[in-house]
Amino acid sequence: MKDGEILPGIQLDEIKNRRKKLMQRIVNNNIIKNTSKEQILIMPSASKVYMSDKIPYVFRQNTDFLYFSGCQEPDSILVLTMLKDNFHSTLFVRKKDQHSELWDGPRTGVDSAANIFAMDQSLPISDFEQYVASFLKEHKNCSMWYDNAQILQPEADKILCRLINMNNVGTILSPKSIFHEIRSIKSKSEIALMKESCKIASKAIIETIKNSKPGIHENHLFAMVDYYCRMDGAEFLAYPPVVAAGKNATIIHYINNNQVVQREDMVLMDAGCEYHGYSSDITRTWPVSGTFSTQQKILYEIVLDVQKSLIPDLKEMPSLDQLYYRMLSLLGKRLQEIKLLPSDLNENTLMAAAYKYCPHHVGHYLGMDVHDTDKISRNVKVQPGMIVTVEPGIYIGPNNPYSPEQFHGLGIRIEDDVLITENGPIVLSKDCPKEISEIEQLASENQ
Ligand SMILES: [Mn+2]
């Protein structure tokens, strides 16, 4: 990391400003009127999760906590208090412990944490209960901001429940929507990390397409995309990728990835990586033989045309829901043209019929999490600084009520990651080809 950076590419000052912005939003919140001027916000980190005795899953920090603290340690808690106009930040961390550090690696420790994370103070996690208890005693009827819907640290949650019952807390509010409002607009440094994440994943998918051939296992394609992402600097894949050959592609969340790819199959790969905490999410579909069949090509062209016409629509900054209705309408009309839908449907029934071909939304917000800032409704207009996915698809399962049989078992999705700016949308995953000729050429290599 460079000087002044707390996370790669992110300055300590930026994180400090995020906390400032957060406290300002808390003070000026519109959620309830007459919030007392005395407020306390409690934000737990993630804790380690085990798959079986002493065998941990890869640790992934709670992204809200990471965004506002810069701290990657488990079992920590960030507490922000606001008394009149006086903000105060306390980071509770684990004490240094020689024995644990021998097994799990070094801890920041209480003495250095305040300095490293630019907090007003740091205290051992064992002092959390006492700190909150005395705050609640001194500030009766204060507002507490704590998300008790998603319990990240069961121990801390028990302590809080006990203290809330014993004291006179004015209101308890979830701060999650406010976290997500702030997180949904990406800063310059975050955009730079997102660009790199998309670049790495694009390149990895290109290499995977190049190296695919009939007879290959879905799992080998999974291994390839993982390998190329990591070799290019990503920490890991952002989610279990979908590597679906042939009719497996009609199962939207197919992640078994354990079948052999047949010569006549297309492969649908939905994969992305995490680069210094920022996720990409890209889907490409290609014929493993290097040449689309007639039916495959007809459908691919429709998905591609629809996807390419939806992206520029983001210039008008519609909501994702509006874009979704537009996708259904466009897909519906094109499916009517090739007689995969009856021609006598009105606009509403046409959209409902198109939904039978594409049962998922057109996109979601993207950032530190793959389905980022989920508290932001998809009916709000997109804004400059947001990153969204645009991912129309067509999936024709055996029970499709409209399609002739020769289209059954085909599944296609094309997904790009798009940054919204004042001057129009920018496709961050543009390095990953999607035109028919480019895809066929890539897939024809190494046959
Ligand atoms: Mn997606």
Q: How many domains does the chain have?
A: 2
Tokens 């592609």, located at residue: 249
Instruction: Say if residue 313 is in the same domain as residue 375.
Output: yes
Residues 145 and 246 both lie in one domain: no
The string of pLDDT tens digits covering residues 45-92 is 999 999 999 999 999 999 999 999 999 999 999 999 999 879 999 999
Answer for the pair 327, 362: CB distance below 8 angstroms, yes or no. Answer: yes
Q: Do 134 and 253 belong to one domain? A: no
Q: What is the dihedral of CA 115, 120, 125, 127, to 10 degrees?
A: 140
- Tell me what pLDDT residue 446 has: 86
Kindly state whether residues 68 and 138 are assigned to the same domain: yes
Please provide the average confidence, as pLDDT, over all residues in the chain: 95
Confidence at residue 84, expressed as pLDDT on a 0 to 100 scale: 80
CA of 69 to the centre of ligand 1 (A): 27
Cβ-based neighbour number of residue 366 at 10 Å: 28
Ligand 1 centre and the CA of 365: distance in Å?
9
Range of the domain at 172: 5-182
Do residues 170 and 214 share a domain? Answer: no
**Cα of 214 from ligand 1 centre, angstroms:** 27
Q: Is the pLDDT of residue 202 over 70?
A: yes
Summarised one tens digit per residue, pLDDT across range 91-127 is 999 999 999 999 989 999 999 999 999 999 999 999 9
pLDDT tens-digit map of 159-186: 999 999 999 888 899 999 999 999 999 9
Q: Which of residues 164, 182, 200 is at a domain's end?
A: 182
Q: If you measure from the C-alpha of residue 93 to the centroid of ligand 1, how many angstroms do you get, rounded to a whole number?
A: 34
| 68 Cα: distance to centroid of ligand 1 (angstroms) | 25
The band of 31, judged by pLDDT with boundaries at 50, 70 and 90, is: low
**Residue 440: which pLDDT band, with cuts at 50, 70 and 90?**
very high
Find the 146 Cα to ligand 1 centroid distance in Å: 29
Contact 43, 175 (CB under 8 A): yes
Q: Is 390 left (phi over 0), alpha (psi -120 to 50) or beta?
A: beta
What pLDDT does 3 receive?
74
The token duo for 213 is 């051939």
Residues 397 and 303 in one domain: yes
> Looking at residues 350-368, what average pLDDT do you find?
97
Q: How many angstroms is it from 1 CA to the middle of ligand 1?
A: 30
Contact indicator for 362, 309 with CB cutoff of 8 Å:
no
pLDDT of residue 301: 98
- Which of the four pLDDT bands, split at 50, 70 and 90, describes residue 5? confident
Do both 159 and 296 map to the same domain? no
How many angstroms does the Cα of residue 281 sit away from the middle of ligand 1?
A: 5
CA distances in angstroms from 322 to 314, 319, 328, 350, listed in the order given:
10, 5, 10, 16
Distance 245 CA to ligand 1 centre (A): 18
Which residues have C-beta within 8 Å of that of residue 59, sequence separation ≥ 6?
Answer: 46, 48, 49, 74
Whole-number Å distance, alpha carbon 300 to ligand 1 midpoint, is: 18
Regarding whether 150 and 256 lie in a shared domain, the answer is no
Q: CATH number, domain at 234?
A: 3.90.230.10
Averaged pLDDT, 217-245: 98
CA of 144 to the centre of ligand 1 (A): 34
Is the model's pLDDT at 35 over the cut of 60? no
Measure 266 CA to ligand 1 centroid, in angstroms.
Answer: 19
- Residue 33: the pLDDT is 59
Confidence at residue 168, expressed as pLDDT on a 0 to 100 scale: 86
Q: Which long-range contacts (CB under 8 A, 24 or more apart) does 237-241 make?
A: 237/271, 237/272, 237/273, 237/274, 238/197, 238/272, 238/273, 238/274, 238/279, 238/280, 238/281, 238/370, 239/272, 239/279, 239/281, 239/370, 241/269, 241/270, 241/271, 241/272
Q: Of 156, 182, 208, at which residue does a domain stop?
A: 182
Is residue 447 pLDDT above 90, yes or no? no
Instruction: Find out whether 217 and 256 touch, Cβ atoms under 8 Å.
Output: no
Full-model pTM: 0.96
Whole-number pLDDT of residue 30: 62
Do residues 244 and 139 both lie within one domain? Answer: no
403 CA distance to ligand 1 middle (Å): 26
Residue 32 has pLDDT above 80, yes or no: no
Say how many Å lie between the CA of residue 353 and the centre of ligand 1: 22
70: nearest Cα among 123, 22, 12: 12
Last residue of a domain, one of 117, 149, 182: 182
Which residues lie below 8 Å from residue 44, measured CB to CB, with a gap of 6+?
62, 65, 76, 77, 78, 152, 153, 156, 157
**Calpha distance 341→249 (Å, rounded):** 21
Q: Identify whether the C-beta of residue 221 lies closer than 8 Å to the C-beta of residue 269.
A: yes
pLDDT tens for each residue of 213-224 = 999 999 999 999
Distance in Å, CA 108 to ligand 1 centroid: 35
Q: What is the rounded CA–CA span in Å between residue 213 and residue 186?
A: 39
Quote the CA–CA distance of 398 and 406 in Å, as a whole number.
10
More confident residue, 347 or 36: 347
354 and 281 within one domain? yes
Residues present in the chain in total: 447
Same domain assignment for residues 303 and 220: yes
Predicted local distance difference test score (pLDDT) of residue 2: 73
Ligand 1 center–CA 251 separation, angstroms: 15
Burial (CB count <10 Å: 0-12, 13-18, 19+), residue 245: buried
**Distance from the alpha carbon of residue 57 to the mean position of ligand 1, in angstroms:** 23
Residues 291 and 177 in one domain: no
CA of 435 from ligand 1 middle (Å) equals 19
The residues whose Cβ lies within 5 A of ligand 1, an ion, are 281, 389
Amino acid identity, position 312: P
Q: How far is 266 from 295, CA to CA, in rounded Å?
A: 11
Backbone angles phi, psi at 257, to 5 degrees: 50, 45
Distance 363 CA to ligand 1 centre (A): 6
CA of 202 from ligand 1 middle (Å) equals 14
* pLDDT for residue 29 is more than 90: no
What does the alpha-carbon distance between residue 352 and residue 345 come to, in Å, rounded to a whole number? 10
User: What is the three-state SS of 187-246?
Assistant: CHHHHHHHHHHHHHHHHHHHHHHHCCCCCCEHHHHHHHHHHHHHHCCCCEECCCCEEEEH
User: Model confidence over 393-430: pLDDT tens digits?
Assistant: 999 999 999 999 999 999 999 999 999 999 999 999 99
CATH code at 18?
Answer: 3.40.350.10
